[in-house]
Amino acid sequence: MLFLSADHSLIACEELFRGTLRQTAVYPREVVRRVQTMRKDADFNIDDRISVRYAASEKLVKAISSHAEYISGETLCDALETGDMEGYRSEDFTFDGETLTLGIKRN
């Protein structure tokens, strides 16, 4: 059995057993969902371009960096980078045993 990842690339069964499916499919969607919720809570307009900063556990950093194009496209993000949260509206999250701090600001 074969599956498609979020970026429509093929995932072989072996990856399912190694646990990489969770990283490739679930983590980027979780990041998008949380950024979209933060946008809504901040009363941003639906078409506002934003910048996103993040600090995360090692697994999430890998997932975010390898799916940056997808995350940026889904959230209308012009800049997706690690860094200081000063000047950003930030929130801390924990899911699946991983930690994530996201900061957003309108461009």
CA-to-CA distance for 101 and 4, rounded, in angstroms? 28
The pLDDT tens digits of the residues spanning 59-93 come to 899 989 999 999 999 999 999 999 999 999 999 99
Q: What is the DSSP letter of 8?
A: S
What is the Cα–Cα distance from 34 to 15, expressed in whole angstroms?
A: 26
Q: Angle 68-75/27-41 helices, nearest 10 degrees?
A: 30
Q: Is the pTM of this model over 0.85?
A: no
* Pairing label, strands 50-56, 77-82: parallel
Q: Over the stretch 31-67, which tens digit does the pLDDT of each residue have?
A: 999 999 999 999 999 999 999 999 999 989 998 999 9
Contact between 71 and 28 (Cβ < 8 Å) = yes
